[in-house]
Structures are given as structure tokens and as C-alpha cells.
């Protein structure tokens, strides 16, 4: 009787190629999820051929025409995939920086809006309290009344009233 030799099924991709495919899929999935392209994520995950994956990377909308031409001119699929990984990594890094900047700007705007709203609410409360107490509605009204009630020389009174007008603006 013959001896049965057990042979392991060969890995469809050599080690480094499999790692490149895994890395590209992870990067592409991250980028596609940020864009909400869930159907494309599934499609990318189904591609196991290095050449097909490298070919599909050329459809990335963030690639310049020169980069797409370079991908087309690169014959070796592993070299194409390495280029795609490099460009996708750079694009994701740029996107992260842009998102961080946008978040910082939005946080600043939100803070300014909160402060503005609180100032307006405080002004409204002061106005209500002034109406309830019979006080002048506005600080400038109070200053105007004080200047007019004070015994001041005419040129001083005029200067003080001009300052009150500036406050009113």
C-alpha cells in the first residue's frame, strides 16, 4: 500500500503579500466607514487577490491623476498595493488633522455661542430686575441721569454726555 502524504494547503498569498492585503483592507475600511460607504466596505473585504485589490485602489477619489497614472504604470501588483497603502495612509492622516481642526473650531464657536447666550440672558434678567425695582433700564440711562443731575460746568457736562452716548452704542 502507498503512503499518504499530508500536504498543507498552500497559503494563497505569500506572507508579506497577505500582510499588505490585510493592511490595505484595514486602511480602506477605516476610510470608507468615515464616508459611510458600507456597501463598498463589503466589496473590498471580499477581494482576496492582490492584483484585483491593487487595481481597485485606483478608483479612490482622493488620488490625483498623476497618482492614478503611476498606479497604472506600475506592473507589479505588490508594488501597486504598497503605493496605494502609502497614499491611503497619508490621506487618512490628512483627514484626521482636518477633522481635529474642524472639531477645535466648532468647539470654539460653541463656546462663543454659549457665552453670547448667557450674556443675553444676564442682560434680560438685569432688565427685568430693573423694571421690578423701578431702576433705570440701562446703565447708560443711569449715567445720563447722574450727569444731568450733577452740578457741572457746561463743557464738562457736554464731554460727559458724549461719553454716555458712546456707552449707549
pLDDT tens per residue across span 14-56: 568 889 999 999 999 998 888 888 888 888 888 888 889 988 8
* More reliable by pLDDT, 144 or 135: 144
pLDDT at 126: 81
Do 85 and 28 touch, CB atoms closer than 8 A?
no
Q: Where in the chain is the domain with CATH 1.20.58.1480?
A: 15-102
- All three cell numbers of 54, joined, read 491593487
CATH number for the domain formed by residue range(s) 15-102:
1.20.58.1480
Kindly provide the b/e burial profile for residues 15-28, where b requires at least 16 CB atoms within 10 angstroms of the residue's own CB: eebeebbeebbebb
How large is the average pLDDT for residues 84-90? 94
pLDDT at 86: 94
- All three cell numbers of 69, joined, read 497614472
Q: What angle is formed at CA 79 by the lines to CA 77 and CA 83, rounded to 5 degrees? A: 115
pLDDT at 7: 46
pLDDT at 66: 94
Share of the chain above pLDDT 70, in %: 86
Q: Is the pLDDT of residue 12 over 80?
A: no
Query: Which of 99, 101, 80 lies closest to 91 in space, CA to CA?
Result: 99
pLDDT at 4: 52
Instruction: Report the alpha-carbon distance of residue 123 to residue 133 in Å, rounded.
Output: 15
How large is the average pLDDT for residues 62-85? 92
Alpha carbon 94 to chain centroid, angstroms: 11
Q: Is the pLDDT of residue 10 over 50?
A: no
Amino acid at each position: 500500500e502507498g503512503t499518504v502524504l499530508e500536504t498543507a494547503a498552500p497559503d494563497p498569498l505569500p506572507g508579506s503579500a497577505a500582510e499588505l492585503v490585510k493592511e490595505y483592507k484595514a486602511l480602506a475600511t477605516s476610510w470608507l466607514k468615515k464616508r459611510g460607504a458600507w456597501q463598498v466596505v463589503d466589496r473590498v473585504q471580499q477581494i482576496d487577490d492582490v492584483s484585483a485589490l491593487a487595481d481597485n485602489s485606483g478608483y479612490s477619489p482622493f488620488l490625483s491623476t498623476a497618482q492614478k497614472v503611476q498606479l497604472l504604470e506600475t506592473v507589479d501588483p505588490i508594488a501597486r498595493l504598497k503605493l496605494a497603502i502609502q497614499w491611503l495612509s497619508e490621506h487618512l492622516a490628512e483627514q484626521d488633522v482636518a477633522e481635529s481642526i474642524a472639531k477645535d473650531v466648532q468647539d470654539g464657536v460653541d463656546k462663543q455661542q454659549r457665552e453670547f447666550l448667557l450674556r443675553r440672558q444676564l442682560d434680560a434678567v438685569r432688565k427685568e430686575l430693573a423694571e421690578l425695582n423701578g431702576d433705570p433700564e440701562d446703565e447708560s440711562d443711569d449715567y445720563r441721569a447722574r450727569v444731568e443731575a450733577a452740578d457741572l460746568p457746561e463743557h464738562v457736562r457736554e464731554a460727559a454726555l458724549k461719553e454716555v452716548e458712546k456707552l449707549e452704542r
